[in-house]
């Protein structure tokens, strides 16, 4: 592919890709790959650490402004998968992949694509709250804009909007200059969400964002997820079945059997996965028979 | 009465009071003979370093006392050095040009060395492939191990002619700036060249410390920065460097201590001028250094002059000690911050 593409050419490439034929039918998400309402999808994705194949044949599409939950037992590659979606995977020594990850129709692993640019469009919230401890609450919210060297006006407005959307504003509005490490764990995680929102990503990846939090904080973050999904695609890894049902529109079930590379066993609307799963393994997992 | 209360009764009436006295625990005591021998030798080793420090200080203070007493405070602030006379009363020993020179050299060396060291450490931690980083670590360690005499000779024979060219260029284009004025048409043996030689000696110290603290930047913070679209430079500047700041400052202070105490290397590359202070003309062939002065003067010194040189050593010793204490304090504080 030509490395010096104009925006118009990119548009064209995108539109060509968007009329592609869907891949293998059994893996197809409710929203067909190639659908214009999908701007993030993986095609025949394989992921390795060194020589070890971790994920195999993952075909998933994430419809625009929906919430997709990734569920599955520990160690089945969900976190690895989610890190592939914004090119964080490549920071791990020995990491490799095959297949394609399309963002707005373009393979984000194409040599012409700037990974830094991808990460501003596909943001990430991590398992453990990780605000920058040397910065104030305000500076944490603005940190992404500075890190990505994005131009912005009216920082106070950005700080307020993002903190409101992460439902943290009322708790911190009087101490925006306090250190981020003075916040509780749940507040820190909401600050991390606010920080991610500030760079206006199109997709937000969340890797078990509530696993280290108490039920009250978890509930507030779930409310935030519902709220931000009105104009953002959310992909959330969770071990909490109830949470998956509460927050997600779609659910994908990952499973690695007997040390084999993990695959997506089933993906469908969340209701279907939990109420009438097609695969017996999904049924067993969501009903707590293993995992 | 409950069983518990019975037990307390047995221990004595004091324990029945409402506010019991807490019993604190010290380190566990050695009980076996080998353990006692071990802790004994550890204590002796620990005390011996303290003893040596105190003994040196005591020796320097007592043997330089007559000179210090004669000169008073002007020993430090004065700018006259007259030694080698038969009549001791005519001799004057004042070290301000040397003392000031020591600090000027060290400060310039820090200015030259810090950017190089920090960039080198950033390269080793965040950019270089593992193999190259390991090779560089060895190179830096070897650089730290080169004897200062060798660096001095190299500085004199090899580096001075090169740096003289730099100095001439700086003077030619920036000569209107006061610090780059030079009216003597000699560009060697200046604080500028001395500071580069010192800088080369302290780069390994600062680099090693900076690399250590940068490598300890928590992975989750690096992930956070990268996940937000942070470029490499943005991530280093906004996350890694603020995190490592305290440690790097500590490393700089260690380097400063080394630069202040350096003797032989400076002796090779700097003109020591005793009668006036070169405050800021760093390209002038005039400078000072307490440590170099001691070896420069020691060979032909009169007994009184030796007392004064020991006094100069005492002043330098105390200053270096203070710098090292500050360095330790800063490193310890930043370690505490990291843990918190």
Q: Between residues B246 and A187, which one has the greater pLDDT?
A: A187
Q: What does the pLDDT read at residue B15?
A: 52
Going A172 to A178 to A179 to A182, the CA torsion angle's sign is negative
Q: What does the pLDDT read at residue A13?
A: 35
Q: What is the mean pLDDT of chain B?
A: 90
Is residue B11 predicted with pLDDT exceeding 70?
no
- A196 to chain B, any CB pair closer than 8 A? The answer is yes
Of A167, A165, A192, whose CA–CA distance to A181 is shortest?
Answer: A192
Q: What does the pLDDT read at residue A31?
A: 46
State residue A65 phi and psi, 5-degree precision. 55, 35
B319 token code pair: 């200053």
Q: What does the pLDDT read at residue B54?
A: 94
A131 token code pair: 């605000």
Is residue B7 predicted with pLDDT exceeding 70?
no
- Which of A79, A130, A152 is the mutation pick for testing B, counting most B CBs within 10 A? A130
According to the 3-state scheme, what is the secondary structure of A188-220? HHHHHHHHHHHCCCCEEEEECCCCCCCHHHHHH
Decide if B229 and A120 are in contact by the 8 Å CB cutoff.
yes
Q: A264-290, pLDDT tens digit by residue?
A: 999 999 999 999 999 999 999 999 887
The minimum CA-CA distance between B238 and chain A, rounded to whole Å, is 7
Is residue B6 predicted with pLDDT exceeding 60?
no
Please list every residue in chain A whose beta carbon sits closer than 8 Å to the beta carbon of residue B226.
88, 91, 119
* Distance, CA of B99 to CA of B76 (rounded, Å): 8
- Mean pLDDT for B100-105 is 95
Beta-carbon contacts of A277 under 8 Å, excluding residues fewer than 6 positions away, are: A253, A266, A268, A283, A286
- A220 to chain B, any CB pair closer than 8 A? The answer is no
Q: What does the pLDDT read at residue B338?
A: 61
Is residue A55 predicted with pLDDT exceeding 50?
yes
Q: What does the pLDDT read at residue A259?
A: 85
Decide if A88 and B227 are in contact by the 8 Å CB cutoff.
yes
Decide if B228 and A128 are in contact by the 8 Å CB cutoff.
no
Q: A141-159, pLDDT tens digit by residue?
A: 999 999 988 899 999 999 9
Is residue B174 predicted with pLDDT exceeding 90?
yes
Please give the residue of chain A at the shortest CA–CA distance from B126: A91
Please give the residue of chain A at the shortest CA–CA distance from B244: A134
CA distances from B55 to A70, B49, B59, B173, B313 (A): 69, 10, 6, 52, 14
* Distance, CA of B205 to CA of B200 (rounded, Å): 10
- A192 to chain B, any CB pair closer than 8 A? The answer is yes
Decide if A117 and B229 are in contact by the 8 Å CB cutoff.
yes
- A124 to chain B, any CB pair closer than 8 A? The answer is yes
Q: At what angle do helices B191-215 and B241-261 cross, to 10 degrees?
A: 140
* Distance, CA of A130 to CA of B219 (rounded, Å): 10
Q: By the 8 A CB rule, do A264 and A58 touch?
A: yes
Beta strands A250-255 and A67-71, pairing class: parallel
Q: What does the pLDDT read at residue B16?
A: 54
Q: Which pLDDT band, with edges at 50, 70 and 90, does A28 fall under?
A: very low
- Mean pLDDT for A32-36 is 50
Q: By the 8 A CB rule, do A122 and A201 touch?
A: yes
Is residue A11 predicted with pLDDT exceeding 80?
no
- Which of B128, B218, B219, B228 is the mutation pick for testing A, counting most A CBs within 10 A? B228
Q: What is the mean pLDDT of chain A?
A: 87
Q: B268-296, pLDDT tens digit by residue?
A: 999 999 999 999 999 999 999 999 999 99
End-to-end CA, chain A: 43
Q: B39-79, pLDDT tens digit by residue?
A: 899 999 999 999 999 999 999 999 999 999 999 999 999 99
Q: By the 8 A CB rule, do B266 and B104 touch?
A: no
Distance of CA B266 to the CA centre of its chain: 16
Q: What does the pLDDT read at residue A126?
A: 94
Decide if A91 and B226 are in contact by the 8 Å CB cutoff.
yes
Percent of chain A predicted with pLDDT > 90 = 76
Beta strands A203-207 and A122-125, pairing class: parallel
- Mean pLDDT for A16-24 is 35
* Distance, CA of A70 to CA of B169 (rounded, Å): 64
- Mean pLDDT for B210-234 is 93
Is residue A20 predicted with pLDDT exceeding 80?
no
* Distance, CA of B270 to CA of B104 (rounded, Å): 12
Percent of chain A predicted with pLDDT > 70 = 87
Please give the domain boundaries of chain B with CATH numbers for all domains: 90-339 (1.10.3720.10)
In the numeric block, the tokens 């059997």 are attached to A257
* Distance, CA of B90 to CA of B243 (rounded, Å): 56
Q: A168-192, pLDDT tens digit by residue?
A: 999 999 999 999 999 999 999 999 9
* Distance, CA of A74 to CA of A113 (rounded, Å): 32
CA distances from A244 to A231, A275, B306, B314 (A): 19, 13, 82, 72
Measured between CB atoms, which of B130, B227, B243 is closest to A119?
B227
Q: What does the pLDDT read at residue B86?
A: 84
Superfamily holding A7-286: P-loop containing nucleotide triphosphate hydrolases (3.40.50.300)
Where in chain A are the domains? 7-286
Is residue A25 predicted with pLDDT exceeding 50?
no
Q: By the 8 A CB rule, do B98 and B297 touch?
A: no
Q: What does the pLDDT read at residue A15?
A: 35
Please list every residue in chain B whose beta carbon sits closer than 8 Å to the beta carbon of residue A132.
221, 224-225, 238-239, 242
Please list every residue in chain B whose beta carbon sits closer than 8 Å to the beta carbon of residue A148.
228-231, 234
Range in A49-58, B30-39, B303-312 with the lowest mean pLDDT? B30-39
* Distance, CA of B67 to CA of B92 (rounded, Å): 9
Q: What does the pLDDT read at residue A7?
A: 47
């Amino acid at each position: 592919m030509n490395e010096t593409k104009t925006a118009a050419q990119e548009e064209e490439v995108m539109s060509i890709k968007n009329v592609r034929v869907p891949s293998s039918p059994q893996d197809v998400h409710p929203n067909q790959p190639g659908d214009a309402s999908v701007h993030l999808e993986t095609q025949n994705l394989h992921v390795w650490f060194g020589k070890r194949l971790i994920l195999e044949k993952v075909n998933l599409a994430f419809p625009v402004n929906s919430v997709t939950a990734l569920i599955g037992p520990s160690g089945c590659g969900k976190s690895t998968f989610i890190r592939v979606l914004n090119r964080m995977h490549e920071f791990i020594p020995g990491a490799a992949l095959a297949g394609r990850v399309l963002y707005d129709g373009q393979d984000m692993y194409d040599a012409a694509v700037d990974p830094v640019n991808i990460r501003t469009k596909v943001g990430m919230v991590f398992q453990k709250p990780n605000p920058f401890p040397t910065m104030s609450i305000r500076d944490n919210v603005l940190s992404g804009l500075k890190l990505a060297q994005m131009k912005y006006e009216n920082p106070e407005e950005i700080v307020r909007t993002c903190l409101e959307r992460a439902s943290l504003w009322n708790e911190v509005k009087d101490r925006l200059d306090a250190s981020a490490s003075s916040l509780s764990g749940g507040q820190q995680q909401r600050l991390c969400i606010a920080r991610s929102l500030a760079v206006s990503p199109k997709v937000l990846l969340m890797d078990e964002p509530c696993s280290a939090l108490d039920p009250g904080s978890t509930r507030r973050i779930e409310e935030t997820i519902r709220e931000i999904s009105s104009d953002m695609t959310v992909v959330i890894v969770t071990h909490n079945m109830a949470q998956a049902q509460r927050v997600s529109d779609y659910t994908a079930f990952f499973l690695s059997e007997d040390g084999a590379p993990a695959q997506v066993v089933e993906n469908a609307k969340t209701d279907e996965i939990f109420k009438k799963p097609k695969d017996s393994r999904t049924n067993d997992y969501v009903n707590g028979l293993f995992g | 009465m409950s069983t518990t209360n019975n037990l307390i009764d047995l221990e004595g009436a004091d324990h029945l009071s409402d506010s019991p006295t807490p019993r604190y625990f010290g380190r566990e005591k050695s009980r076996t003979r080998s353990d006692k021998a071990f802790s004994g030798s550890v204590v002796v080793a620990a005390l011996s370093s303290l003893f040596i420090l105190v003994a040196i200080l005591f020796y320097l203070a007592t043997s330089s006392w007559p000179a210090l007493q004669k000169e008073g405070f002007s020993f430090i602030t004065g700018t006259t050095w007259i030694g080698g006379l038969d009549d001791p009363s005519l001799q004057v020993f004042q070290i301000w040009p040397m003392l000031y020179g020591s600090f000027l050299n060290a400060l310039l060396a820090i200015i030259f060395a810090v950017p190089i060291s920090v960039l080198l450490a950033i390269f080793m931690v965040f950019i270089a492939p593992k193999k190259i980083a390991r090779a560089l670590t060895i190179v830096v360690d070897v650089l730290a191990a080169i004897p200062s005499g060798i660096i001095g000779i190299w500085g004199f024979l090899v580096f001075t002619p090169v740096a003289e060219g730099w100095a001439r260029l700086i003077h030619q284009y920036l000569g209107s700036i006061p610090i780059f004025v030079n009216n003597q048409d000699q560009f060697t043996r200046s604080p500028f060249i001395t500071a580069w030689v010192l800088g080369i000696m302290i780069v390994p110290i600062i680099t090693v410390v900076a690399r250590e603290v940068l490598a300890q930047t928590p992975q989750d913070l690096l992930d956070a920065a990268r996940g937000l679209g942070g470029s490499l430079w943005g991530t280093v500047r906004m996350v890694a460097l603020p995190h490592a700041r305290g440690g790097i400052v500590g490393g700089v202070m260690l380097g400063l201590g080394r630069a202040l105490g350096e003797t032989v290397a400076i002796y090779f590359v700097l003109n020591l001028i005793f009668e006036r202070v070169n405050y800021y003309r760093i390209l002038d062939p005039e400078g000072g250094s307490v440590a170099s002065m001691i070896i420069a003067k020691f060979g032909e010194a009169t007994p009184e002059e030796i007392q004064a040189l020991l006094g100069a050593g005492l002043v330098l010793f105390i200053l270096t000690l203070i710098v090292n204490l500050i360095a330790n304090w800063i490193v310890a504080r930043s370690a505490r911050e990291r843990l918190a």
